[in-house]
Structures are given as structure tokens and as C-alpha cells.
């Protein structure tokens, strides 16, 4: 094989992967005439010191991505040649400055070409231009520095090529473009990094194999050369077998190698193309047979070769001898010799000279002879016996049965000790070694299974007991925590009340003393000449200080207070009029700020903002008295608003999306029939449902009774089971019937016995209801508390948010500027108008609404206001709170607690049974629950007050507005605001991407012009690498030289062992 020349535009590096380690010879040649040698070129710059030169030269060698062998040869060059090479390469890089940006250009071109699905619409010049672009990429991948390939890989250029290959139509598949794309992949694999990237890609080899479906011979040859070379790469052999299986499904063929055999047997009429294609096919077949697992496994080679023999490759090989081509004959000889070697080795296993694999009787006799008098012989006979009973009709699924048997045997033969299959596994999840181990230890496995089942049952029982104890522990822990919290709260409350009581008692004592002193002085003052009044009290005694806790102060001395005016009497006299004149009439806005606003008027009519204007007589006490939109007009760009929302252009509406509904279904279990000879007086349906409940509960009647009397201290009764038990409380009619048959207690059915036992418990239904309420209380309070808290916090948020107030001020300015007449000159608007902002469309762009424009203005002028949603974090939760349902839940808790207290009083008045803990448990529960409930009630009262304040703060009617409606308005606006903000961001990003794309296209166009000037020189300077050397060695057959030489030496030995009476298949005459 001639050495491959690795050239770099003016410098030729002569390397070869399959030759000796001689130093590369460096010469200088003209680009167009490589036979004319030039004189040695002297570098223009002085040569640096040896250490610096080695460092610079090392960077250059790294960019070339050479093998270790070639790197050593490069570093062994004299210093003068190193400096010449370095200067030459650096000069080339200066001439081609900007080459690192080329991958973006090629990737854009590939994506653009892949978007055009057909070549029919293209002119011939366009098709040639596309082909030139791909050829230019192939050249760049070979000749450019390593950083070009790295950049191409990082930008996912391989995926672009593969996507182009997948999306090609028939015309493109048959064109030169297809061949060039395969060449690009081959060029990418010409260095270690690119090759590793291609092999690690999940679909690359499969997509390359799909290209075998083309009729273009050059493309097929290129694909087969790549796939054959991949077989020689570690880990590549199995990928090729998987790719051929993928191609079988892609081409809808019966076997995976059918296309190769068809092309091998077909005549095209063009000798050179036909020989090239058939040589490529044979080199690929030999690589598949001899590489990978085939390098060491006879069974694997025989297995794969049988596929080719079944497709009729032997007659085709005999016919190919007529082409009289040395390279093709070399591959045919290798196939024949490898087959003869394998058949000889196989025959030695059976002590035979030759095995005729076409004769079923000879193969059966050999197997029977080998298996006779062994432990496996009965199983062999059993296999044959069952094969006799296999389906043998031509119709139906007969073939599939035999195919299954064939695949099982294949996997037994091919699978190694680790359970790995060198070929694509015929049967998935079928590990032969594991199955054999299970058969060997079948009895032991059976014993282990029985022991495991026993341990599993014990584990299940222990798990149930553990879960029961955990539930009991959790309940006790939760009860303890709740009690501690309640005690702490009660302690704080008692301390606070004790402190207040102490202060009140002290103040009462002080007031009593003072009152006594004043009374004494008053009595002395009534005596003539009595002591004068104390200083500091002219005009009468001082009024007493106010008492805490709302205690009214005592009346002043000197008589009773004046009586209140009689009902219907005249009103008190009016106070002094305010400064500036008479008081305003009722309902009129107060102060000079409520005068008609000075709103700037647009020069042209604008689209109206459909808001609900708040009447001026409802402004008092709301936030609108604090809002001043006049200062906003100084900040806004009114001309831009007028341009964006002009009323003279057409409007378009958005489309609304629909929501999908989901449906759920529940399944009920059924129970078997009753036992025979059982006494049952309860209704059949009721008894059946009761039996189902008891079977799920898994407790005896005594355990249920004990759990109810002890208020389920051990947590035996889950809450859902208690709810079901309430449905099976014994009714009076049931109790009467059961009392009549109590002497037949042993014969009673399970349900009847249960109802009878429960009816013996005093106040069974009330106890059960109290227990259920006790278990559900914490859960129900836990459901109510978050709703109350959300209502309270959300009300505070909307009252205190400054950013939201500023937002309303800007919206008010927008509305007053855009609306005229009765709709304009507003001092406030209803909060529901916020959700109508998006209804006003822009006159310039139908996709822009007033909400989009408002967000843009806020981001520029009021950036802090854009984050107002951070001030209203609890509003979405409060929007789900319904006050009516909340009051109903509180009422249910109150009535339930009252019922439990009533039952507690009743049980206290009765003598308790043995083991009855109702009074002690429920008393403790009532203490904790009452305090928790009062805490929830206080929180709800506070939340309602804050909510009513918030509603009035925004000028709404507090009697009509519910929390879900009020906060729902804010929640909807928050969502719309967030969506519009994201849409603004998307529009801004698209605009930036478009600008960036335009800039890149301009830059790439400029680089392409520069590239076009030197394209011809680049095409003449293609580089070949080690992957090319591998493909060339495979094409010429040199890769099989070692094995072929060995087979030639053994040929005489093989022929000498053949006797005249042997049944060996005659070896095809080989031409060396």
C-alpha cells in the first residue's frame, strides 16, 4: 500500500498507519504541479531557542491530531525543519484568519438545505452550489486545525448532517450531495475526537446504514467502507450488527444482509463501478466475520456465515471469479480460506474429516454419536420427541414456533459466561447462565422459596404490628404536641389576664382611696370655715383616670350626669363651619383636590379603556383620595401612547384556549355468599356490606368493643373505618330481632353477631360519633386554619402594598388620557377594571395590548412596580376561600364540639363499665379542642375585619363582595400580568435573535467571499488521516494479510488430511 500523503497547502507530510516508523520526509511543492520541486524556503523570522521552539512546535503538533507514532516522528525532526514547518503553518493560519467561525456557516447551510425537502424546485446551478458547499465542509474537516473540528462538534454539526440524511427525498438521495455528506462523516472520523463523537452518537451508525438503500454506487461504496472500518474499531463491531438489523426494519427486508447479497449478485453493466461495489461488499463481509467476537469465537463465525450461506453467497462467489480482478479475488480467497479453516476446526470436535452442513442426516448422526452414553442423551431424545410434536403445517404460526426454538438454541451457543451476546440478542432478558444455574440448584431453590415465603409472611405480620404501633405512637405524639401548645397558649393567656387583673385591682384600690379622700374633703367643705380645696383643683375635682378592660369611670361628684336627650328631640347644634365658607353638601367630594382634573388631551381620538368608573360620592375613605395621576402624565410619553392606541386603525381579537376535563371512576369489591346453616335476621344487603367492612377491618368483636370503650387508645380503628362503622349502627328494629334470638348467639352470622355485641355498649352511636369527631378534629382544624390565615394575610397585603398603589395610579392616568366624556376625568375605578386592560389592542401591532404597553412603561419608568406580585404572594390562595363554606365549616365544628360535650355530661352522670375511659379521654380532648377552636374563631374574626377594610379601601361594597370574588380579581390580574410580561420578553428575544442572525449572515457572507477565492487551492490540498488509512487497507485487503498468509501455509496440511473417500466439500481454487 502506498503511503498516504497528509498535505497542508504547500507542505506534504508523508505518513502511513501500516508502515514503518521512518521519519516523515518534508518537501515543498507547487499546488498545481506536484512534480516540480522548489528550493528550500527560508523562514523570514529568526529561529528561537530550542526550548521555546519545542513548546511552539508542540502546540502545532497538537492541532494536527496525529497518532503517537507520528508524533514521535515529528518531534525527532531537526530544529531547522521544525522551524520551517512552524513558520509555514502560521503563515497559512494568518492567510485564513477567522477560520474558527466557519462551522457556524456550514451548520446554517446544512440546516437551510435540509429544510428544502426536494431538488425538483432547484436549478442546476443551485444544486451544484449546494454540492460545492458540502464538499467545502469535507475539505475543511480534513485540512483545518483541530479547533475547527472541535468547534464543529460543540455546535452539534454531526446532528445537522444526520438530520439532513434522514430528511432527504429520492432525488437528493441519488445525487452527488448524498455522497458528499457521507464523505463529511468520513472526514470527521479521520481524527480521534471526531471518530469518538460519531461512535458515541446514538443514531449515527444506524442513519449511515440507511444510506445503503440508494442506487448511487459511489454512495454505497463510501457507506460500506465506513462501516467496514468501524468493525475494526474497538466496540464498533456490535454497533454495525445492530445497524444492519435497523436497516432490515428500515428497508422491510426478510434478513439483515439481503441487500448486500442482492447487490453482490447484480450486474450494472459498468465494469469499474461494479467491481468497486462488489469489492466493498466483500471487504465488509470479511470484516464482519473476522472482527469483534469473530476474532476469537468459532461459534460466532459459523453463526454469522450461516446467514450468508442461507442467502446463497457461495454460488455468487463462484460467479465473481469471472471478473478477474486481483483486489476482489483477494477478498474472495480470504472468505474461502476462513470458511475452510472453521469447518476443519469444527469437524475435529466430532473426530471427523469433514461435516456436510447441508446434510441433516449426517449432522444428526454426529450429534447422536457424540451424545450417546452420556447423561444428556435422555434430554436429547426428549428434544427430538417434542420436535416430533411441534406444529408442521404450512399455514398458521408454524414458522414462528420453529423460529423461537432456533433463537433459543442460538442464544445458548453464542452467549458468554457473563450473559453478554456478541450479536444482537435473539431473545431479550434471556440469560442462559442464570437459567442453567437455576436448573442445577432447582431443589435448593425450591427450599429457599418455601423458607422465603414463610419469612415473607412473618415479615408481613411484623410489618402490620409495627405500623399499628407507629400509628399509635404518632397519635400520642400529635396529641401531646397539641396539648403542650394549648397549655402554653393557656398559660400565656392566664398570665396576661392575671397581670391585667392585678393592674385593675390596683387601680380600683387607688380610686377607692382617692374617692374616700374626696368624700372626706367634700364633707369638710360643707362645714363653714372648712379647709380649702387642695391646690391644682380649681373649679372642681379632677376626673378619674380611665379604667382598663372597658370599665366605665365613676360619675363626677356634685350630682348625677345630665340625662340623654329624649328620643325624637332636636339634633345637637352644628359645630363651627370649616375654614373657607359653608360646609359642603352631603356626598360631594371634599377639599380642592376633587375639582375637575387638568388631563392632557390627545390630538386624535384614542381607543377607549373599558373600565368601570368609581362614583365620586364613594371616594371618601378609599385609597383613591391619596392617588394623584397628574404627576404620572409628566413621566409618560403621550405621543407614543397616541401612536400605539390610535382609534383609526383596525382591531383584532385574541383566541381563547379551552380546558380539558378529566373523569375518574371507582371500583367496588364484592364479597362471597354467607355460610350455610347460620342464623341471620338482618337485611341481606345490609349484612353483606357489614361483612365486607369487618373483613377489611380485621378485628374481632371484642377488639372493636375494647377500642370503642377506650376511645381507641391503641389506634386500631382508622378514620375511614370509623366513618363506615357509623353506617352500621344497630337500629331499634335490629336490636329487637337480635334480642329475641340472643339464646342462639353461637349460630348467629358474623354481621348479626357484630350488631348484637355493639348494641350491648351503652350509647354506642354517640360514643362512635364522639370518637370520629375526636379523630377528625385536628384534620378539620388544619384545613380551616390555612384558609383563615390566607384571608388575613392577603387582606393585609393589598392594604399595605405601595407598589400596587403606584400601579393603580399609572393605570388611572392611562384611563383618563385615553377616555373622553363621561368615561374620563375619573378619580378612581373599580378593581375589576384591571382585567379589562388587555382588551384594548394596539393599532400598530395586533399582538400588543394595553397591558403589554403598560408593562413596558413600568419597566422603564417604575422598575420597582413590576415586582408588585411579590407583595401579593397570598392573594392566589385567598382567591380560593369561600366565606359561606368557611362559616359552614366553623359552624359544623362548633356543633360537633357541643355534641361531644353533651355526651360527656351524660357519661359523667352514669356509672362507667370496666375498661371504659370515655370520661377521662374526652375531658382531656374537650379542654384542648375548646381552646383550639376559640383560637380559630378569633383568627376568623380578625380576618373578616381586615377583609372588610380591604374591600372598603378599594371602594367596593363589603356586603356584596366575597373573598373568592374580590381576591379572584387580583389573582386573574396577576396571572395576566405575568403572561404579558413573559410575552414581552419573548418578543424582545425574538427581535434580538433576528438582529443577531442578520449580523451573522453578513459576516458569513464576507467570509464566504474570502473563502471562494482560495477554494480551488483548498480542494487540491485535502488531507487524509488514520481513518482513511484504515478504509484503504480494508479496501485493498491488506488488513487481512496476516490471516491470509497463515491460511496459505496451512493449505497443504489441510489437503494432506483429506482422503479419497472423504465427504469434504471441495475447496475452491484460489488465485494468489
Confidence of residue 595 (pLDDT cuts 50, 70, 90): low
CA atoms within a 13 Å half-sphere pointing along the CA-CB vector of 565:
7
pLDDT tens track for 606-629: 777 778 888 888 888 888 888 888
**Residue 410: other Cβ atoms inside 10 A:** 18
Please tell me whether residue 569 adopts helix, strand or coil conformation.
coil
Q: Which has the minimum average pLDDT: 8-22, 233-247, 450-464, 850-864?
A: 8-22
Q: How far is C-alpha 415 from the chain's CA centre?
A: 37
Which helix or strand (DSSP H or E) is residue 6 part of? strand 4-7
Q: Which one, of 1035, 1065, 1052, lies nearest residue 2 by Cα?
A: 1035
Residue with more model confidence, 201 or 88: 201
Q: Which has the minimum average pLDDT: 16-30, 631-645, 876-890?
A: 16-30
Q: Which residues, including other chains, have CB under 8 Å from residue 922's CB and lie 6 or more apart?
A: 711, 770, 774, 900, 903, 904, 907
Q: How far apart are the first and last CA of the chain?
A: 17
Residue with more model confidence, 973 or 300: 973
Q: Is the pLDDT of residue 280 over 90?
A: yes
User: C-alpha angle with apex 1021: 1015 to 1024, nearest 5 degrees?
Assistant: 130
- Specify which of 358-362, 876-880, 1040-1044 reaches the highest per-range mean pLDDT: 876-880
Q: Which residues of 722-746 are buried (b: 16+ CB within 10 A; e: fewer)?
A: bebbeebebeeebeebbeeeeeeee
Mean pLDDT value of segment 811-821: 85
User: With contact defined as beta carbons under 8 Å apart, do 859 and 842 qualify?
Assistant: no
Write the DSSP symbol of residue 575.
-
Q: Residue 793: what pLDDT?
A: 92
Rg of the chain, C-alpha, whole Å? 49
User: With contact defined as beta carbons under 8 Å apart, do 13 and 26 qualify?
Assistant: yes
Q: Which residues, including other chains, have CB under 8 Å from residue 80's CB and lie 6 or more apart?
A: 47
pLDDT tens track for 937-951: 889 999 999 999 999
- β-sheet with 4-7: strand ranges across: 4-7, 11-15, 27-28
399: its cell numbers: 414458522
User: With contact defined as beta carbons under 8 Å apart, do 906 and 881 qualify?
Assistant: no
pTM of the predicted model, to two decimals? 0.42
Q: Is the pLDDT of residue 578 over 70?
A: no
Mean pLDDT value of segment 855-868: 89
Q: Is the pLDDT of residue 548 over 60?
A: no
Q: What is the rounded distance in angstroms from the CA atom of residue 72 to the CA atom of residue 74?
A: 5
Strand partners, 606: 646
Q: Residue 701: what pLDDT?
A: 84
Strand partners, 4: 15
Q: What is the rounded distance in angstroms from the CA atom of residue 906 to the CA atom of residue 367?
A: 93
Q: Residue 973: what pLDDT?
A: 92
Enumerate the H helices of 204-355 as residue ranges. Answer: 204-210, 217-232, 236-251, 258-265, 271-290, 298-310, 313-320, 326-349
pLDDT tens track for 134-158: 888 888 888 777 888 888 888 888 9
CA atoms within a 13 Å half-sphere pointing along the CA-CB vector of 362:
13
Q: What is the rounded distance in angstroms from the CA atom of residue 178 to the CA atom of residue 131?
A: 9
989: its cell numbers: 428575544
User: C-alpha angle with apex 763: 747 to 781, nearest 5 degrees?
Assistant: 120
Q: Residue 34: what pLDDT?
A: 37
Q: Residue 209: what pLDDT?
A: 92
Q: Inter-axis angle of helices 442-525 and 432-440, to 10 degrees?
A: 100
Q: Is the pLDDT of residue 845 over 80?
A: yes
As a whole-number percent, the residues of the chain with pLDDT over 70 amount to: 74
Phi then psi for residue 397, to 5 deg, are -100, 30
Confidence of residue 525 (pLDDT cuts 50, 70, 90): low
Q: How far is C-alpha 796 from the chain's CA centre?
A: 37
Q: Residue 538: what pLDDT?
A: 41
Q: Residue 628: what pLDDT?
A: 81
Q: Which has the minimum average pLDDT: 238-252, 580-594, 644-658?
A: 580-594
Q: Residue 118: what pLDDT?
A: 54
Q: Which one, of 873, 871, 876, 836, lies nearest residue 963 by Cα?
A: 876
Strand partners, 12: 7, 27
Confidence of residue 66 (pLDDT cuts 50, 70, 90): low
User: C-alpha angle with apex 888: 887 to 891, nearest 5 degrees?
Assistant: 85
Residue with more model confidence, 214 or 300: 214
Q: Residue 427: what pLDDT?
A: 60
State the chain's mean pLDDT as an integer. 76
Q: Which one, of 325, 412, 334, lies nearest residue 376 by Cα?
A: 412
Q: Count the residues in the chain.
A: 1072
Q: Which has the minimum average pLDDT: 484-493, 963-972, 991-1000?
A: 484-493
Dihedral angle, C-alpha 464, 468, 469, 471, nearest 10 °: 140
Q: Which has the minimum average pLDDT: 101-105, 228-232, 559-563, 774-778?
A: 559-563
Confidence of residue 96 (pLDDT cuts 50, 70, 90): low
User: With contact defined as beta carbons under 8 Å apart, do 605 and 838 qualify?
Assistant: no
576: its cell numbers: 363651627
Amino acid at each position: 500500500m502506498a503511503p498516504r500523503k497528509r498535505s497542508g497547502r504547500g507542505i506534504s507530510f508523508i505518513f502511513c498507519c501500516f508502515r514503518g516508523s521512518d521519519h516523515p520526509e518534508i518537501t515543498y511543492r507547487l499546488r498545481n504541479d506536484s512534480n516540480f520541486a522548489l528550493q528550500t524556503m527560508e523562514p523570514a523570522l529568526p529561529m528561537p531557542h530550542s526550548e521555546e521552539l519545542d513548546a511552539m512546535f508542540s502546540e502545532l503538533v497538537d492541532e494536527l491530531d496525529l497518532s503517537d507514532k507520528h508524533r514521535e516522528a515529528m518531534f525527532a525532526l531537526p530544529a531547522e525543519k521544525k522551524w520551517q514547518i512552524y513558520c509555514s503553518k502560521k503563515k497559512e493560519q494568518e492567510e485564513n484568519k477567522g477560520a474558527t467561525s466557519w462551522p457556524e456557516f456550514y451548520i446554517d447551510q446544512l440546516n437551510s438545505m435540509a429544510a428544502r425537502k426536494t431538488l425538483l424546485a432547484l436549478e442546476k446551478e443551485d444544486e451544484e452550489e449546494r454540492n460545492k458547499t458540502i464538499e467545502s465542509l469535507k475539505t475543511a474537516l480534513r485540512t483545518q486545525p483541530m479547533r475547527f473540528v472541535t468547534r464543529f462538534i460543540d455546535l452539534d454539526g454531526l446532528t445537522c448532517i444526520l438530520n439532513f440524511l434522514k430528511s432527504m427525498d429520492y432525488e437528493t438521495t441519488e445525487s452527488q450531495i448524498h455522497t458528499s455528506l457521507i464523505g463529511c462523516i468520513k472526514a470527521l472520523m479521520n481524527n480521534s475526537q471526531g471518530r469518538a463523537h460519531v461512535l458515541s452518537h446514538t443514531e449515527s451508525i444506524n442513519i449511515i446504514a440507511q444510506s445503503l438503500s440508494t442506487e448511487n454506487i459511489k454512495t454505497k461504496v463510501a457507506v460500506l467502507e465506513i462501516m467496514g472500518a468501524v468493525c475494526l474499531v474497538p466496540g464498533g463491531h456490535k454497533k454495525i450488527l445492530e445497524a444492519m438489523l435497523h436497516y432490515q426494519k428500515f428497508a422491510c427486508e426478510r434478513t439483515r444482509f439481503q441487500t448486500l447479497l442482492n447487490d453482490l449478485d447484480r450486474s450494472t453493466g459498468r465494469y469499474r463501478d461494479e467491481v468497486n461495489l462488489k469489492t466493498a461488499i466483500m471487504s465488509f463481509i470479511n470484516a464482519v466475520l473476522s472482527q469483534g467476537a469473530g476474532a476469537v469465537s468459532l461459534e460466532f463465525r459459523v453463526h454469522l456465515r450461516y446467514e450468508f450461506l442461507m442467502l446463497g453467497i457461495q454460488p455468487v462467489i463462484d460467479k465473481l471469479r469471472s471478473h478477474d480482478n486481483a483486489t476482489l479475488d483477494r477478498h474472495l480467497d480470504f472468505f474461502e480460506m476462513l470458511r475452510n479453516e472453521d469447518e476443519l476446526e469444527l469437524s475435529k470436535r466430532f473426530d471427523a474429516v469433514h461435516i456436510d452442513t447441508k446434510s441433516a442426516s449426517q449432522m444428526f448422526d454426529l450429534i447422536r454419536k457424540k451424545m450417546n452414553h452420556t447423561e444428556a442423551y435422555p434430554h436429547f431424545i426428549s428434544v427430538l420427541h417434542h420436535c416430533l410434536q411441534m406444529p408442521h403445517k404450512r399455514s398458521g404460526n408454524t414458522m414462528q414456533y420453529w423460529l423461537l426454538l432456533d433463537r433459543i438454541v442460538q442464544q445458548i451457543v453464542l452467549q458468554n459466561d457473563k450473559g453478554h451476546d456478541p450479536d444482537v440478542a435473539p431473545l431479550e432478558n434471556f440469560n442462559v447462565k442464570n437459567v442453567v444455574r437455576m436448573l442445577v440448584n432447582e431443589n435448593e431453590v425450591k427450599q429457599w422459596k418455601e423458607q422465603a415465603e414463610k419469612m415473607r409472611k412473618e415479615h408481613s405480620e411484623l410489618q402490620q404490628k409495627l405500623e399499628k404501633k407507629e400509628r399509635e405512637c404518632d397519635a400520642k405524639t400529635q396529641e401531646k404536641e397539641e396539648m403542650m401548645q394549648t397549655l402554653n397558649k393557656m398559660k400565656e393567656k392566664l398570665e396576661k389576664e392575671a397581670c391585667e387583673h392585678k393592674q385593675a385591682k390596683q387601680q380600683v384600690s387607688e380610686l377607692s382611696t382617692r374617692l374616700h379622700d374626696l368624700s372626706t374633703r367634700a364633707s369638710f367643705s360643707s362645714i363653714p370655715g372648712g379647709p380649702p380645696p387642695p391646690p391644682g383643683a380649681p373649679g372642681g375635682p379632677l376626673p378619674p383616670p380611665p379604667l382598663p378592660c372597658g370599665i366605665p369611670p365613676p360619675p363626677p361628684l356634685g350630682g348625677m350626669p345630665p340625662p340623654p336627650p329624649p328620643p325624637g328631640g332636636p339634633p345637637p347644634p352644628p359645630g363651627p363651619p370649616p375654614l373657607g365658607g359653608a360646609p359642603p353638601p352631603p356626598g360631594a367630594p371634599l377639599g380642592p383636590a376633587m375639582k375637575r382634573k387638568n388631563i392632557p388631551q390627545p390630538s386624535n381620538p384614542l381607543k377607549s379603556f373599558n373600565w368601570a368608573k368609581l362614583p365620586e360620592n364613594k371616594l371618601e375613605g378609599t385609597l383613591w383620595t391619596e392617588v394623584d395621576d397628574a404627576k404620572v402624565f409628566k413621566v409618560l410619553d403621550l405621543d407614543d401612547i397616541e401612536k400605539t392606541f390610535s382609534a383609526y386603525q383596525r382591531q383584532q381579537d385574541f383566541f381563547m384556549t379551552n380546558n380539558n376535563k378529566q373523569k375518574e371512576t371507582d371500583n367496588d369489591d364484592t364479597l362471597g355468599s354467607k355460610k350455610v346453616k347460620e342464623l341471620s335476621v338482618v337485611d341481606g344487603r345490609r349484612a353483606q356490606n357489614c361483612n365486607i367492612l369487618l373483613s377489611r377491618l380485621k378485628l374481632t368483636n371484642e377488639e372493636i368493643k375494647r377500642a370503642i370503650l377506650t376511645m381507641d387508645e391503641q389506634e386500631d380503628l382508622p378514620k375511614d373505618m370509623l366513618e363506615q362503622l357509623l353506617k352500621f349502627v344497630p337500629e331499634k328494629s335490629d336490636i329487637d330481632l337480635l334480642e329475641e334470638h340472643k339464646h342462639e348467639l353461637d349460630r348467629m352470622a358474623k354481621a348479626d353477631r357484630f350488631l348484637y355485641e355493639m348494641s350491648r355498649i351503652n350509647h354506642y352511636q354517640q360514643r362512635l360519633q364522639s370518637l370520629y369527631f375526636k379523630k377528625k378534629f385536628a384534620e378539620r382544624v388544619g384545613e380551616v386554619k390555612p384558609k383563615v390565615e390566607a384571608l388575613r394575610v392577603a387582606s393585609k397585603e393589598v392594604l399595605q402594598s405601595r407598589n400596587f398603589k403606584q400601579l393603580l395610579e399609572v393605570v388611572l392616568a392611562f384611563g383618563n388620557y385615553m377616555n373622553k366624556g363621561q368615561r374620563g376625568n375619573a378619580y378612581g375605578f373599580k378593581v375589576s377594571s384591571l382585567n379589562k386592560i388587555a382588551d384594548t389592542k394596539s393599532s400598530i401591532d395586533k399582538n400588543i395590548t394595553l397591558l403589554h404597553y403598560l408593562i413596558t412603561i413600568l419597566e422603564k419608568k417604575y422598575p420597582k412596580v413590576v415586582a408588585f406580585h411579590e407583595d401579593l404572594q397570598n392573594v392566589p390562595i385567598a382567591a380560593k376561600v369561600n366565606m359561606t363554606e368557611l362559616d359552614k365549616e366553623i359552624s359544623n365544628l362548633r356543633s360537633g364540639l357541643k355534641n361531644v360535650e353533651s355526651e360527656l355530661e351524660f357519661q359523667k352522670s352514669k356509672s362507667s363499665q370496666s375498661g371504659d375511659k370515655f370520661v377521662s379521654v374526652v375531658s382531656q380532648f374537650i379542654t384542648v379542642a375548646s381552646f383550639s377552636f376559640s383560637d380559630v374563631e378569633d383568627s376568623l374574626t380578625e380576618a373578616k375585619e381586615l377583609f372588610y377594610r380591604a374591600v372598603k379601601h378599594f371602594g367596593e361594597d363589603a356586603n356584596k363582595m366575597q373573598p373568592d370574588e374580590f381576591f379572584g380579581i387580583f389573582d386573574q390580574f396577576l396571572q395576566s400580568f405575568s403572561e404579558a410580561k413573559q410575552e414581552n420578553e419573548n418578543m424582545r428575544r425574538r427581535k434580538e435573535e433576528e438582529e443577531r442572525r442578520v449580523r451573522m449572515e453578513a459576516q458569513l457572507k464576507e467570509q464566504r467571499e474570502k473563502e471562494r477565492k482560495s477554494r480551488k487551492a483548498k480542494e487540491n490540498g485535502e488531507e487524509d488521516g488514520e481513518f482513511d488509512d484504515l478504509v484503504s487497507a480494508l479496501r485493498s485487503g491488506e488488513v487481512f494479510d496476516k490471516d491470509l498468509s497463515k491460511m496459505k501455509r496451512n493449505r497443504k496440511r489441510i489437503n494432506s488430511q483429506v482422503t479419497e473417500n472423504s465427504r469434504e466439500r471441495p475447496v475452491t481454487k484460489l488465485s494468489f
